Each structure stands twice: as structure tokens, then as C-alpha cells.
Amino acid sequence: MKYRIAKILLLFLLVLASACTSSFIGIQKLYPPDDLVVDGHSEWSGRYYKERIEVFKNDPLNKGEIVFLGNSITEQGGDWSLRLGIENVRNRGIAADLTNGVLERLGEICHAKPKAVFLLIGINDIYNWHHGRGNPPPPPKHVGNNILKIAEKIHKGTPKTKIYVQTVLPTDFEPVKEAILTVNSMIRSHEATGHYHVIDLYPEFTDSLGLIRPELTKDGVHLTDEGYAIWVKMLESVISDEL
């Protein structure tokens, strides 16, 4: 009798271990593989990308949260719940990330079925294009198409999630101004068919020369506290009206 009970207990533990292992493997597949190389990432940004993915694995999204998705401008926003005064807002920004990098890390987001996703991405791709980085360096229209692909992939993976695509912010570097305008034009023109809503940040941050207002940036790209305050003010009406 004791042997039979022990045998049943052992079988139960084996089944439980198998289920846990399968669950772990399944969760791992939600994230980019460890050996992923994103075209356009530098040695530093490729390494940092993997470090941030490990952070995400150890603190996965819960069902029905709000996700801010992007690069360093999003990441440096820090605690978006605190900024917006609402709960369950998660930061999925990765410094120096590219549209290709975001496309590779949507598994977690689609699995978690967020209430909403706020996407801001593209400026690093544009800088790579200008400086000839990547193989080949992505032209502005490719960057815009990748942003549309990100929105479409999220929509297909989690159709009830509200998707907000934010226009690329201006910088203080005049040579990339036209490329930013090209990408933003694509974001705006595809809103009706792209399963997303546009939040047009660009005009609020731009001076009379089409560059970022100096008081809103600390280095020509990243935002000051005043810059984040303007961003949050633009988001408040969206969140109060629709979320």
C-alpha cells in the first residue's frame, strides 16, 4: 500500500515537473532568443538589448496592463504609472532600440493582451540611415513600414488591444529632419487602415525651424522633465477618454 502511494506521488511529481518545464519553455519563447543579432545594433546596444530582455523575463507583463513600447526616450520616462497617475502601466523601452528590435520582442506583448500599447520608435533607425549603419542602412520609408508592421503584428496577436502610434519626435540635428517628416507622414496617412490611433507628438515639440525646442531636450534627442510633462499632458486626454 505504501509502495503504491509512493508510486502515485512520484508520478504526480513527474507530471508537475513536466508541466512546469513546458510552461517555462513556453514563456521563454515569448522573448527574443539569446543569440539574436538585430541588424543596426552596435556592440553596446546589442548587449544592452539582451540585458533588458532578461529584466523583462524576470518581471513579465500581466494580462490587461498598459504598455509603453519604444527606445531610450520611453525607457527614460521611468515609472509611467507615476507619471500618468494610474496603475498598471509598464515600461518596455530599450535604449538604442530599432524598429527591427521591437518586431522581435512582440511575443510577450501579444501574449499579455494589454489594454493598450503606446508605441514611439524610429529615431535610431533614422540616425542609422543617415550615418550609413546597418546592412543595408534602412531608408526612411522602410522605417515607416516597420512601424506599420509593428502595429499590425500587435493587432493580429491581440485584436482587442488599443494601439496608439506616436509620431517620431524632432531632434536638433537638421540633416535628419526630412526623414522624420517622411516617417511621420506615413504614420498619419495609414491611421484609417492601420488598426491604430495616432498621437501626434511632433508638432508640440518642434520650433519654427522644424527642430526640437531647446528647453524640451537635454542633448538634442532625449527629453527634459519639461519635455516629459508635455508628453504626459497630451496623453492624459486619451487615457481619461478611452482607457
Strand duo 162-166 + 66-70: pairing: unpaired
Edge to edge, the sheet with strand 116-120 lists: 89-93, 66-70, 116-120, 162-166, 197-199
Residues 6+ apart with CB under 8 A from 227: 205, 216, 217
Alpha-carbon span 88 to 80, nearest angstrom: 9
CA 228 to each of CA 16, 188, 223: distance values in angstroms, whole numbers, following the listed order: 47, 22, 6
Pairing of strands 197-199, 116-120: unpaired
Find, among 163, 239, 169, the residue nearest to 204 by Cα: 169
Pairing of strands 66-70, 89-93: parallel
Q: CA nearest 57: which of 82, 87, 34?
A: 34
**pLDDT-derived band of residue 85, with 50, 70 and 90 as boundaries?**
very high
Residue 22 has pLDDT above 80, yes or no: no
Q: Would you say 114 and 62 are in contact if contact means Cβ atoms under 8 Å apart?
A: no
% of the chain at pLDDT higher than 70: 88
Q: What is the pTM of this model?
A: 0.89
d(CA 119, CA 199): 10
Give the three cell numbers for residue 159.
Answer: 485584436
| pLDDT value at residue 155 | 98
Cβ atoms of 150 and 104 within 8 Å: the answer is no
Span between the terminal Cα atoms of the chain, in Å: 59
**Structural domain boundaries of the chain?**
1-30, 35-242
φ/ψ (deg, to 5) at 147: -65, -40
186-231 pLDDT, tens digit each: 999 999 999 999 999 999 999 999 999 999 999 999 999 999 999 9
pLDDT at 3 over 70: no
Superfamily of chain region 35-242: SGNH hydrolase (3.40.50.1110)
- Report which of residues 172 and 136 the model is more confident about: 172
State how far the Cα of 45 lies from the Cα of 7, in Å rounded to an integer: 51
d(CA 213, CA 90): 28
